[in-house]
A = this chain, B = another copy of it.
Amino acid sequence: MNYRVIVEVTLREGIADPEGATIERALPALGFTGVTNVHAGKSFRLDVEATDESAALERATALAERLLSNPVIENATARLGKAGE
């Protein structure tokens, strides 16, 4: 069976995030105040063939850590997508 998995890749704590910092600095001038701690990352959606949900998540996590992220500076987390996601 195919399971839809969503992988999010975020920068580790302490790694400079110039994209997030630039967005955060720009927001007040664009009319959005009270928005802080902006962090930019990547997301991936994929259909994983597996026998059950936990096997799908496990495969997606291995794939995300080995291929979709740089573990020196990034964290990868996988979660099951809801219907339609």
Contact = CB atoms under 8 A, between A and B. Distances in A.
Interface of A: 2, 4, 6, 8-10, 20, 23-24, 26-27, 30, 32-50, 59, 63, 66-68
A35 B33 CA distance: 41
Contacts of A32: 59, 63, 67
Give chain A's interface secondary structure class.
Answer: strand
A37 B43 contact: no
Contact of A27 (B20, B43, B67): B67
A34 B20 contact: no
> A-B pairs with the 10 shortest C-beta distances?
A34-B49, A43-B43, A37-B47, A39-B45, A41-B43, A38-B46, A36-B47, A32-B63, A8-B43, A35-B46
